[in-house]
């Protein structure tokens, strides 16, 4: 597996915890160079130091994906330092679930800014370089909620459906440039994600659900590694996985 991961320049948003961090660790162990973006500079720096201490190559850049110029700078930093970008993982996100009638409109706005505009900004930043290289790989993070809608997570589900629609459109458009696109839709994975819920009753229910069934973040990292490690003429477009115990 490692032959097609080693040496690749991989930019990861939301790399300071959870799925992004686990992916940085696995890909770095497989020989990729990782360029890490998120807002918590201390967490990013600690991760980069840990990876370089283990012999890997890592660069950390404080990035708010809701700000297009910051996402641009993250990708530019990767290209300036390592001369290209092979994989762009648009992973940063939050999940402040709540029923629509509670009108957490500020949280709807935040999810739109981070979970979908952040992905669009990642595409805008990396696509020109990948077109020029005539190679590249986008990995966008959706969710089981990108396939299923249920009460209490309508906005999150709408945005994760949008990530899948966007990824399919991107897939079709980038054919001439030899660019691959993968959308990964995880079920419940043990990360800090439930911490973004602000409604106490929802938070309690969700933490109980995650506590009972969530699987380790490495499950996601292995799905990324599977997609990235394929031969260049194989484009893995969709991966949907859940904990074996997860019903919905
Ligand atoms: N865990 C699950 O069960 C699950 C299931 C399906 C999909 N997902 C998706 O997986 C992705 C990663 O979430 P996670 O589970 O790993 O949760 P997490 O541990 O909370 O990680 C979220 C990451 O996103 C970053 N982030 C949040 N807002 C950001 C912003 N404005 N700019 C840049 N980075 C930002 C956070 O870093 P900072 O706070 O340092 O900025 C953190 O690194 C999300 O898109 C989520 O929707 C997760």
| Residue 65 Cβ < 6 Å to ligand 1 | yes
Q: How many residues does the chain have?
A: 248
Q: pLDDT tens digits for the chain (248 residues)?
A: 447 999 999 999 999 999 999 999 999 999 999 999 999 999 999 999 999 999 999 999 999 999 999 999 999 999 999 999 999 999 999 999 999 999 999 999 999 999 999 999 999 999 999 999 999 999 999 999 999 999 999 999 999 999 999 999 999 999 999 999 999 999 999 999 999 999 999 999 999 999 999 999 999 999 999 999 999 999 999 999 999 999 99
pLDDT of residue 136: 98
Catalytic amino acids? 156
**Residue nearest ligand 1's atom 42 by CA:** 14
pLDDT of residue 2: 47
Distance 20 CA to ligand 1 centre (A): 7
Which class for 15: exposed (0-12), middle (13-18), buried (19 or more C-beta within 10 A)?
Answer: buried
Site to substitute for ligand 1 among 38, 184, 219, 238, most atoms within 8 A of C-beta? 38
d(CA 35, CA 46): 13
Provide φ and ψ at 49, rounded to 5°: -65, -40
| Residue 91 Cβ < 6 Å to ligand 1 | yes
Distance 36 CA to ligand 1 centre (A): 13
Please state the atom number of ligand 1 nearest to the C-alpha of residue 44: 40
- Nearest to 13, CA basis, from 170, 130, 119: 119
**Residue nearest ligand 1's atom 7 by CA:** 143
| Residue 96 Cβ < 6 Å to ligand 1 | no
| Residue 39 Cβ < 6 Å to ligand 1 | yes
Euclidean distance between the first and the last CA atom of the chain, given in angstroms as a whole number = 32
Q: Which two tokens stand for residue 29?
A: 């162990």
Residue pointed to by tokens 């899948």: 164
pLDDT of residue 73: 98
Q: Which two tokens stand for residue 217?
A: 């973040």
| Residue 17 Cβ < 6 Å to ligand 1 | yes
pLDDT of residue 37: 98
d(CA 48, CA 133): 26
């Amino acid at each position: 597996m490692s032959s097609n991961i080693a040496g690749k320049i991989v930019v990861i948003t939301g790399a300071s915890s959870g799925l992004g961090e686990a992916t940085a660790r696995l890909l770095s162990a497989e020989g990729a160079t990782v360029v890490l973006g998120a807002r918590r500079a201390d967490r990013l720096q600690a991760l980069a130091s840990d990876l370089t201490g283990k012999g890997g190559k890592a660069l950390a850049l404080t990035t708010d994906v809701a700000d297009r110029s910051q996402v641009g700078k993250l990708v530019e930093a990767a290209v300036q330092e390592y001369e290209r970008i092979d994989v762009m993982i648009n992973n940063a996100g939050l999940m402040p679930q709540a029923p629509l009638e509670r009108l957490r409109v500020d949280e709807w706005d935040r999810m739109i800014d981070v979970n979908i505009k952040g992905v669009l900004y990642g595409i805008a930043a990396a696509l020109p370089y990948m077109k020029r290289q005539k190679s590249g790989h986008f990995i966008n993070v959706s969710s089981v909620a990108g396939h299923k809608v249920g009460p209490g997570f309508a906005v999150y589900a709408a945005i994760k459906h949008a990530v899948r629609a966007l990824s399919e459109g991107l897939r079709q458009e980038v054919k001439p440039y030899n660019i691959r696109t993968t959308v990964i839709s995880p079920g419940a994975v043990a990360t800090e994600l439930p911490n973004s819920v602000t409604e106490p009753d929802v938070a309690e229910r969700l933490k109980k659900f995650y506590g009972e069934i969530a699987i380790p973040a490495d499950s996601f990292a292995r799905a990324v590694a599977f997609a990235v490690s394929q031969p260049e003429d194989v484009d893995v477009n969709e991966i949907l996985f859940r904990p074996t115990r997860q019903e919905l």
